[in-house]
Structure 1
Amino acid sequence: MSLHIFKETLKPCTNNPSSSSSLFSTSITPSFDPIIPRIPPKSSLSQQLLRLQDPDSLPPIQYQNAPKQNQSHGGGGYEEEKKKKKKSLNQKGLEGPVNRVSFSLSIQDPLSHWFCPRRVKFQLYRLLEHQREGVKFLYNLYKNNHGGILGDDMGLGKTIQTIAFLAAVYGKDEVIHSSIRKEHQAGKKDPVLIICPTSVIHNWENEFSKWSTFSVSVYHGTNRDLIYEKLEAYAVEILITSFDSYRIHGSLLSDVKWDIVIVDEAHRLKNEKSKLYGACLEIKTPKRFGLTGTVMQNKIMELFNLFDWVAPGSLGTREHFREFYDEPLKHGQRSTAPERFVRVADERKQHLVAVLRKYMLRRTKEETIGHLMMGKEDNVVFCAMSELQKRVYRRMLQLPDIQCLINKDLPCSCRSPLTQVECCKRTVPNGSIWPYLHRDNPDGCDSCPFCLVLPCLVKLQQISNHLELIKPNTKDDPDKQRKDAEFASTVFGPDIDLAGGNTQSESFMGLSEVRHCGKMRALEKLMFSWISKGDKVLLFSYSVRMLDILEKFLIRKGYCFSRLDGSTATNSRQTLVDDFNSSPSKQVFLISTRAGGLGLNLVSANRVVIFDPNWNPAQDLQAQDRSFRFGQKRHVVVFRLLAAGSLEELVYSRQVYKQQLSNIAISGKMEKRYFEGVQDCKEFQGELFGICNLFRDLSDKLFTSEIIELHERQRHEHGQNLNSKDGLTERGTNFISSEEVGATYSSEFETRASKPVLEDMGIVYAHRNEDIVNVRPGMQGEMDIGIPVNGSLSQPHLVTKKSKPEVSGKENISSITDRKRSQYSLLAQFMGMGELQFSKWLLSATPLEREKVLRDYKRRKEKVPNG
């Protein structure tokens, strides 16, 4: 069956003649025929999908309890039933934009957001438009015996879409035609396996209990043997297990004949050498589905590993993918790449995106529910390290351990033809870190001296954040505390008294003091402005010890806060979240970046601070999404704090590099070419890769701003038009003023700030991440993403759209967003509604109704230009 027929069958029902006449009503309740009122038909997704296979196998939809023609308008009991439904909705607190959804979506019927408790076991809600598309996408893959990836952003309902898809395939509806029920009973389907992180097992159970009638069991913990016996007895329809359980017991579970296998957080399958990936390869069903909001995190080759699991052979062999896609895309993104490299990369990019789109559906919040939210702005703020921090940082770089790594490729001092790392400098007995790492092996290990890289990087990051972090941790064993105290004495040198000694400070005032920490100095100024304006703040750090220091800082400043980290009990986390969202007195939520999991929907906060960056950009983006998700009613402003001139600048630059490669490979976007370095290529390590770059002294440089300035100069030299008022360098260095740090909308940040104000805040440079990485939705061309029925891969067909002219000058992205928001308000006024009520109407309106509103609005605007 063709995709066109499938879409036509699932078009909304247009049998209600009065729907169009009620468009301009201020109520969002759909209007009904005043003469022949009716209730929604007994139509479910499973019926409609089965109707696609054999349209004659099902009788026409019958409308139940419809009153006769000669019956009076007030009879029939329909209005009474309607009132009960509305009362039930109000009692359950489901007023507002509908986001709770069920799998019984009744795509053909626009009245499907009403439910009849008498005939359905569970409440029926209308799926959002992007969720309906997701269900159809998964179903289309399933019917063609394929697997695929649902790559929606976090918070767009991947779990609900999956349950809707499974319920449709398995006919899990209360009102199902007897012929369909007999078919399902006669040909009983094999069970479904869901593999997910341990932290979300309980959520999957809850969602299945809310929206379906499946028999669900959990293969995790001590009752595994009992569950496996039930599985063998065909008493389980859905089996949920954790990554760890499947990695250990995968050989047992892989012998089961599964109909569908679903992996939640599928990016965990990015490493082909992991035991989990090997265990998942043993699954025999071709219907493998992955759910993830971060399809690619670090390398393009991760795409191959993931897609080779969900759709084996879809991207060819590993070597073919590396040579045909990976290498050309990476080398084409070099800042000095020849024109032919760029041209080949563009061709391969479009080809790759076309192939991926056959097996992946990727949507962002901006594309789907952006019109229901006030937007997000991601600011990167480079804070000057204190003078003490700079001196300690330089001493750290001069340690024998790091010097051994920096000079590893130089000729050995013993005049041998070998390099230092191959000859006399493989071990560092006189170092500050190496002796402790090899206390049980004085001759060193097989990986020496490269085993020093990670410990040295951790120490540099600690110095960049706060000097207390390099002092001994009282929770460590005495031997490690002794070695850490010696290390602290070495790097503090003559400044040891100024740093408060080489042991952890017990002074409350000393820990909360900001004068020796550049980031905390900037944070102090920012927090004062935000709290005075009534903003609520999320403050993230990946280090628990840094959270302890920040907690003392908040107490000293008198801010009311909550805290959540890995030690917080799972059953108390939701209480903390609810308390923060509902309590006006709670001003700050202190969170560990690594304490993710489910339920951290902190939509009451409109300011997000990420105190320390992560090498993996997905970690920082996920932290931002704790606030920027459905239900957020304010503009979200994110501040990532980086220590200027430190390793953190390189961490952020690599984040940009990885995000750009991800946008190129997955979405086919155009990205600026900032960097000369090429990942995993020793010939082109450039400014990003290699040990020498990791341990380079950047204390007297503005590493990131210099790269951006160089890019802008190159654009000028090539004759490209660029308005100097909107240049990244000028806008970045004059980005924040003392009044603007608490501004609500991004357009307010355009005002210039004086240099003394920035210096007082300890900020040396800043820019918006949106100006560096292309975060706008869409791609260069629209592609035919239909799945071939025979499963073969044909050459992708690109239908290139006419590109819109680039926006220049003050017509930047933020101003476009403001203009759209203004137009949205005018449309709401035209409909006689508030913005929130208009959002509700949009969710329940059909495309035809929306088009009619736009046509009428334009006609009125033409008649009354100033109206």
Structure 2
Amino acid sequence: MSLNAFKEALKPCKSILNSSQSSSSSQISHPSLPTRKPPKTSLSRQLLRLNDPADFSPPNELKISEPDPNFNAGSRNSKCEEEKEKEAEIRPIDVKLESFRSFDHTGPYEPLLLSLSAEIPAVQVPASINSLLLEHQREGVKFLYNLYKNNHGGILGDDMGLGKTIQAIAFLAAVFGKGSDESDTVLTSHDVNRDEKKGPVLIICPSSVILNWESEFSKWSTFGVAVYHGVNRDLVIDKLKAGDVEIIITSFDTYRIQGSILSNIQWEILIVDEAHRLKNEKSKLYTACMKIKTLKRYGLTGTVMQNKIMELFNLFDLVVPGGLGTREHFREFYDEPLKHGQRSSAPQRFVQIAEERKQHLVSVLQKYMLRRTKDETIGHLMMGKEDNVVFCAMSELQKRVYQRILQLPDIQCLINKDLPCSCGSPLKQAECCQRTVPNGMIWPYLHRDNPEGCDSCPFCLVLPCLVKLQQISNHLELIKPSPKDDHDKQMKDAEFASAVFSTDIDLVGGSATQSGSFMGLSDVRHCGKMRALERLMHSWISMGDKILLFSYSVRMLDILEKFIIRKGYSFSRLDGSTPTSVRQSLVDDFNSSPSKQVFLISTRAGGLGLNLVSANRVVIFDPNWNPAQDLQAQDRSFRYGQKRHVTVFRLLSAGSLEELVYTRQVYKQQLSNIAVAGKMEKRYFEGVQDSKEFRGELFGICNLFRDLSDKLFTSNIVGVHDKQGIYFDDPLQETSSVESKGIGGRRTKAKPTLEDLGAVYAHRNEDVVNLRSRCLVNEKQSLSREQDDEQRRPPPEERKESDATGEAETVEIVMDPPVCDASKKRKSDHSSLLAVLMGIDEAELNKLMLA
């Protein structure tokens, strides 16, 4: 700072208003004078000053006093002038204080006591951290400390976006007596008077969030943090032995390789971020983590269970060894009964046993796991989310190509693998003459080095054939050769494409390597999902919405990028090739720039570390076998800080493999709700996971390659289309017609909307997964409603007369919900129940729904 500038900054402090000013001078406006910046102090001191406005009051504070008997009218103007000057000095500080108080809504500036009041030394979260925590985060810190106090591990299973990282740091700050600045640390350490020396803390996380952990530690505490990752790993170990480091952060891959070095250290606490990565007990990472020398192991994950119930056991056996018994005991006592009790035609005895085991499992998990959702915690701070699943009709060309693939010898071999062999032997085809497929399109290339076949034939064909079916479901260009592949692979893919395109090869521009033809790749004629996407994006962009567009395939992202360029939309893109150092700048630019309309993201690359709350529309172009991948993609936008209602559209190709992928997602979500949350879910499916006897409609190779083109597969299973009616929010058409709207302005007839999108069926994911689920708290209310219905039921003789017309009346009820009294009562009951659970009046709930 120059000397002249410093003098100019001091001028306002020396200037004195002329006391001989007349009363009219108060009306003259003075130019604004520069103010000096306050000195830098610790955050805690600034907060203490703001909480004590007495420290900011001027020396001659205005006070109310008795009337002066010597008061005269001549001195009235001068006294008023002095009062105005004093008020002007006080007012800015009051305004700043009020604005800060309105911002700091999380809590007062005081520490959060975790230990008992009479316990010495006291363990508490420093006030500088506690004042910025939300209420559910304080509960999470208490939960972690209670486990730590009892020398146990556990899982913090909050939904993504609820601040699991911050809760973990606040917990560590309380245990180690660390605040957000040195003054807090010294004060806490002096008061606590800790005698024992605590060991270091190990944090294992994905490499993409290492920088995020390091940044959060620097903001919230004064720990000595080091990253054990990269070329300077040995220096970190030396600092740790010298006592200069308290927190070690490493990645999953680094620990898997260097686990022998880190496992020799006696750790005080282990924290595993994204702990669901340890779901496979046979992986090297899981085996290495089991060797860590500490019992205080804590997992942070928003998806405790993703695919199988046994994954739940693997995760808990890592953080709480032996807490759920042995592996075989868990499988027999919990896993098998829960899966078989969820079968749609399960006997009542199986259902009853599953209910008992489910309640027992939940009671055990609650001791070591804290699981909260956004609706339970910050739902009142957000506008909500709607997850729509749209089954788009494939183009006629897509349908023909899909049918030709199913007729290939490779897939026919898999479909007929269990049939008797045609040679007359008692063996099955897969065990005899049809074990290999020399005349196939895929098998010869896979076994080019071993013409006699491999040990897993013909099952080695399953994954390559599934990939081809998924490519056809997304876009025809994907089955053409990729220019990034080697020459032999391109030649084989070109031969495959020529066979499945057959007489339609001219319509797709030949079977050669995927061309860079901009107009050809961006054309939506031959892709059903892109036609729906074109209609949706046109409506959203015209309304000023921002869109997140996810795809599992990078090649599909290339095609979507050309489509967006053709439409003239401004976009950003992030995939696996995007450097980690650039990702955050892309996110910040998209959130802050009004001109950015679309963000193209790879589902795999966009799962962690991205906060895109500026977008309120999310499109998932292709489904993933793991439901957690799609749910995490949605949470990139639907998280704390989102100011608008988030609408999600999952696009599926009707009659294709994607329907089976989605129904398996529903199955897995329901199993997770049963095992983790203790809910009762509607039993939709006959199939049982990992069961050869009950494969039903979901499991087994024959189901994977079944022709679904002439069926409403998902609709017939979940029964939403025929039994419950469709309530589909129409973002494309005007809602001026009152007759076409239901409660809250939603359309009650989805057919016009589906026709516009080129779709055959649609529903909301939450309606399918959660509509029929009932918690124990609702059973008494449901029972009371059934008793009321029984009292109002007509006598038996009147009931017989109405039996003949019952079916027709039921159809009329389903087809016209807004007019039916029974439907109105059902909706009213649901609204009343929802209002009770949310703790608000039904009128307030209706206002929220209308908003």
Same fold? TM cut 0.5: yes
Match of residue 542 from structure 1: 552
User: For residues 301-312 of structure 1, what are the structure 2 equivalents within 5 Å?
Assistant: 301-312=310-321
Match of residue 650 from structure 1: 660
Contact 1:196 1:242 in 2 (8 A): yes
1:282 aligns with 2:291: yes
Tell me which amino acid in the other structure corresponds to 2:258. H
User: For residues 304-703 of structure 1, what are the structure 2 equivalents within 5 Å?
Assistant: 304-503=313-512, 504-596=514-606, 598-703=608-713
Contact 2:680 2:773 in 1 (8 A): no
C-alpha distance in 2 between matches for 1:207 and 1:647? 43
C-alpha distance in 1 between matches for 2:838 and 2:736? 20
| Residues 789-814 of structure 1 deviation map (CA, whole Å, 9 limit, x = unaligned) | xxxxxxxxxxx987697896334868
Contact 1:392 1:492 in 2 (8 A): yes
Match of residue 143 from structure 1: 149
Tell me which amino acid in the other structure corresponds to 2:354. A
Match of 1:131 among 125, 130, 137: 137
| Residues 172-223 of structure 1 deviation map (CA, whole Å, 9 limit, x = unaligned) | 1434687954876631101111111111111111111111111111111111
Mark the CA change 1:260 to 1:273 in structure 2 (over 3 Å): closer, same or farther: same
Mark the CA change 1:820 to 1:438 in structure 2 (over 3 Å): closer, same or farther: same
Contact 1:615 1:652 in 2 (8 A): yes
| Residues 328-372 of structure 1 deviation map (CA, whole Å, 9 limit, x = unaligned) | 000000000011111110111011001001000000111100000
C-alpha distance in 2 between matches for 1:818 and 1:380? 26
C-alpha distance in 1 between matches for 2:715 and 2:351? 24
Contact 1:740 1:749 in 2 (8 A): no
Match of residue 761 from structure 1: 757
User: For residues 187-206 of structure 1, what are the structure 2 equivalents within 5 Å?
Assistant: 187-206=196-215
Contact 1:193 1:240 in 2 (8 A): yes
Match of residue 5 from structure 2: none
- Point out where structure 2 has 5 or more consecutive residues left out of the alignment: 1-42, 64-87, 116-125, 786-823
Bigger RCO (CA 8 Å, 6+ sep): 1
Contact 1:678 1:684 in 2 (8 A): yes
C-alpha distance in 2 between matches for 1:466 and 1:421? 32
Tell me which amino acid in the other structure corresponds to 1:579. D
Cα deviation, residue 66, structure 1 = 9.5
Give the TM-score, by structure 1 length. Answer: 0.77
SS of the aligned residue for 2:452 comes to coil
C-alpha distance in 1 between matches for 2:743 and 2:595? 29
Cα deviation, residue 131, structure 1 = 0.2
Match of residue 803 from structure 2: none
- Point out where structure 1 has 5 or more consecutive residues left out of the alignment: 1-39, 45-62, 109-119, 714-726, 783-799, 836-867
Mark the CA change 1:101 to 1:655 in structure 2 (over 3 Å): closer, same or farther: farther
Contact 2:682 2:773 in 1 (8 A): no
C-alpha distance in 1 between matches for 2:623 and 2:401? 20
1:739 aligns with 2:749: no
Contact 1:736 1:752 in 2 (8 A): no
Identity of aligned residues (%): 71
Mark the CA change 1:470 to 1:740 in structure 2 (over 3 Å): closer, same or farther: farther
SS of the aligned residue for 1:261 comes to strand
| Residues 496-528 of structure 1 deviation map (CA, whole Å, 9 limit, x = unaligned) | 111221021332111111111110111111112
C-alpha distance in 1 between matches for 2:328 and 2:147? 26
Cα deviation, residue 753, structure 1 = 4.2
| Residues 387-444 of structure 1 deviation map (CA, whole Å, 9 limit, x = unaligned) | 1101100110111111111111111122112111111211111111111111112122
Which of 522-531 and 463-472 deviates more? 522-531
Cα deviation, residue 748, structure 1 = 5.4
Match of residue 33 from structure 2: none
User: For residues 92-131 of structure 1, what are the structure 2 equivalents within 5 Å?
Assistant: 96=103, 105=112, 125-131=131-137
C-alpha distance in 1 between matches for 2:735 and 2:660? 25
Contact 1:400 1:432 in 2 (8 A): yes
C-alpha distance in 2 between matches for 1:546 and 1:143? 51
Cα deviation, residue 125, structure 1 = 3.3
Match of residue 152 from structure 1: 158
Cα deviation, residue 533, structure 1 = 1.8
Contact 1:409 1:419 in 2 (8 A): yes
Larger radius of gyration: 2
1 or 2, which has the higher helix percentage? 2
C-alpha distance in 1 between matches for 2:605 and 2:751? 38
1:257 aligns with 2:274: no
Contact 2:680 2:774 in 1 (8 A): no
SS of the aligned residue for 1:538 comes to strand
C-alpha distance in 2 between matches for 1:741 and 1:244? 53
Give the TM-score, by structure 2 length. Answer: 0.78
C-alpha distance in 1 between matches for 2:736 and 2:652? 19
C-alpha distance in 2 between matches for 1:375 and 1:80? 44
SS of the aligned residue for 2:508 comes to coil
Which of 398-407 and 528-537 deviates more? 528-537
SS of the aligned residue for 1:498 comes to helix
Match of residue 772 from structure 1: 768
User: For residues 806-825 of structure 1, what are the structure 2 equivalents within 5 Å?
Assistant: 809-811=826-828
| Residues 365-392 of structure 1 deviation map (CA, whole Å, 9 limit, x = unaligned) | 1110000001001010000001110110
Match of residue 170 from structure 1: 176
Tell me which amino acid in the other structure corresponds to 1:731. I
Contact 1:374 1:633 in 2 (8 A): yes
SS of the aligned residue for 1:505 comes to coil
Match of 1:292 among 301, 324, 327: 301
Contact 1:404 1:428 in 2 (8 A): yes
